[in-house]
Chains A and B, each alone.
Chain A
Amino acid sequence: MTPVIELDGLEVRLGGRPILKKLAATLAGRSIGLLGPNGAGKSTLLNTLLGFHKPSSGAARVLGLDVRTRAREVRGLVGYMPENDAFIASMSGVRFVRMMAELAGLPPEQALERAHEAFFYVGLGEVRYRPLGSYSLGMKQAAKLAQAIAHGPKLLFLDEPTNGLDPPARVRMIQLIQEIRDRGDLHLILSSHLLRDVEECCDQVLILKDGSIAAYCNLEEERRANLRFLELETRGASNGCFLEALEKLGCQTAQGAQGRIKVVLPEGLELRSLYAVAAEQQVQIRRLNHKRDSLEDIFLKAMEGPDGRL
């Protein structure tokens, strides 16, 4: 499978200052989150992938195409929803989206049809003839999404898509992004400083800090791994026989204080086997928790400085 984004020692300097520092990663997920505090370089990375900034060294490829030499082709495959308000206030929503679709290469008739479809899809069907300047913030965000998807891109860049939205509008936006993701027709890169947005929409996450990659992880694998990691609270397991029996099943174990045991289950082993062993050893399992290493934990670990401080 062609990687979605390949970063090969990518460095971008703006005004003589390095903004992105030797980024190297291969991102191949269906939906990838770009996470980081404000000023970490998320928008700069997106702008570089769109060809707005020239890399000062290194290379970046989008769907196998070098952004330096084949920027036009890259932009032909991409739909972009920018962070800030971006539209022409005096134009009606559907006319604006139609124009953007035509600039992306759609013939006028198809562009008009797709503009209407995109507006209905994002829930703005009833207001599509109103000037964009009269839209509320939530409607403007949805209109930005409409112009990003109207031409049917292969890759969608969403820069802070829930910025400024009230809770119902945010939920609606997240649902739209999830729907687009789940149809599987395109890849999406979601840049956000909101962990929840990324957690709900993405299966991989690239965490940036001060223009460098602080972490890159597969959330799906993390979630799956978390399902295999258990914390037990037991009674009657102090003689070590219970742990030995678990290890015979292939589990990795660690004895804690006061009957607490950490267990990593091997692939294929079901939980009921643990209860069976506990019954044989006459051990009570009082509590069983799956480890919940959330994106927040991953993010906080990535943000930690060398001295352990954030």
Chain B
Amino acid sequence: MDLLVIAGKSFRSRLFVGTGKFASATVMAAAIDASGTEMVTVALRRVDIHNPCDNMLSAIDRTRYQLLPNTSGARDAAEAVRLARLARAASGIHWVKLEVTPDPYYLLPDGTETLKAAEILVKEGFVVLPYIHADPILAKRLQEIGCATVMPLASPIGSNQGMRTKDSIAIIIEQATVPVVVDAGLGAPSHAAEAMEMGADAVLVNTAIATAADPVRMAAAFKQAVEAGRLAYEAGLPPKSTTAQASSPLTGFLRNE
């Protein structure tokens, strides 16, 4: 399979994994391993002064995985920029998954604020991977100002509803000159395969793995689905037809026709 290249860095795996919602650091580390991923997302939060030793991320081997800090919790561009700068100061990593979600109910991204924050962060030298609604025009704008990818949502974060924005994602894939990473809402390996078959360059999965009855096996299932979907895309899916197209030859010797 082709390598995925983002901002000059190559990835063999096209599955990105989020590290939220895991029952324990041990399960998280095992699931990340089983997924074959090379890119994991992390978030920033205040230290719990009363439980300062809780450091879940020490379970992640940073030599194996590109850490992708996100700006989750940001409700506008200023907050997102602040979080991105903090993440860089904390880790030295200048990659950021930019997300601005002012509405806590659906967690849909604010395109205007995302574009504003992206402009600032790109100028400051960040590799910006913006989380967006499946809006082809916004995707184009973000690409034009120098974002490294676009990350359209399949359905709301953590909803497991799958590719509800499929038609718009297809337009984004058709027009994009940067990698398209389908993010959010992929609830089953078949959803991930569907995105990859369409030509998405990668997918990001968190909830569906972390909250599965067996997260480690689910991570392995997503790995296979992403690989199968990508392979099918590279192999070239045949066209659809509204009528049957016989697979066996219809020789006429049974009847005189």
Instruction: Tell whether A and B belong to one assembly.
Output: no
Interface residues of A (CB under 8 A from B): none
